[in-house]
Amino acid sequence: MATARDRGLIVKVARMYYEQNMSQDQIARALMTSRSNISRILSVAKKRGVVEIKINEATKRETQIEEMLISKFGLRAALVAKVPRTTSDYQAVGQLAVQSFLNHLKPRVRVAVSWGRSIQSMVEALEPENRPDVTFIPLMGGMTEIPASYSGETLIRSLAEKYNADFQILHAPTIVQSPDIKVALMKEPSVATVIDAARTADVAFVGIGSKGANSSLHILESAGINEKENPEFFAKWAGDLAGRFFDRDGKSINSRLDSRTVGLELNELARIRRVVGVAAGDEKTEGILAALRGGLISELVTSSNCAMKLLEAAESKKLGELV
Per-residue pLDDT tens digits for 144-187: 555 544 566 888 999 999 999 999 999 888 889 999 999 999 99
Report pLDDT digits (tens) over 2-54: 454 588 899 899 888 888 878 888 899 999 999 889 988 988 888 888 887 66
**H-helix or E-strand spanning residue 303:** strand 299-303
Query: How many Cα neighbours within 13 Å face the side chain of 69?
Result: 30
pLDDT at 319: 46
Annotate 130-164 with three-state secondary structure: CCCCCEEEECECCCCCCCHHHCHHHHHHHHHHHHC
Q: How many helices (H) and strands (E) does the chain have?
A: 15, 10
pTM over 0.75: yes
> One-letter amino acid identity for 123?
V
Dihedral of alpha carbons 18, 300, 59, 55, sign: negative
Q: Is 201 exposed, middle or buried (0-12, 13-18, 19+ CB in 10 A)?
A: buried
Average of per-residue pLDDT across 192-204: 97
The arithmetic mean of pLDDT across residues 220-248, rounded, is 91
Domain ranges across the chain: 1-54, 55-316
Position 85 scores a pLDDT of 78
Phi, psi of 301 (to 5 degrees): -125, 120
Given this model, what pLDDT does residue 278 score?
A: 96
Mean per-residue pLDDT for 182-205? 95
Tell me the per-residue pLDDT of 273-311, one tens digit each, with 9 for 90 and over: 999 999 988 788 899 999 999 999 999 999 999 999 999
For 55-316, CATH gives 3.40.50.1360
pLDDT for residue 58 = 46
Q: How confident is the model at residue 265 (pLDDT cuts 50, 70, 90)?
A: very high
Q: Identify the pLDDT of residue 55.
A: 53
For residue 82, give the 3-state DSSP assignment.
Answer: strand
pLDDT above 80: residue 57: no
DSSP-derived letter for residue 263 is B
Helix (H) or strand (E) holding 12: helix 4-14
Q: How far is CA 165 from the centre of its chain?
A: 17
Helices 24-31 and 152-163 pack at an angle, to 10 degrees, of 50
CATH architecture group of domain 1-54: Orthogonal Bundle (1.10)
Q: What are phi and psi of 242, to 5 degrees?
A: 50, 35
% of the chain beyond a pLDDT of 90: 57
Please tell me the predicted confidence (pLDDT) of residue 171: 87
User: pLDDT for 59-109, tens place per residue?
Assistant: 588 999 999 999 999 999 999 998 887 788 889 999 999 999 999 999 999
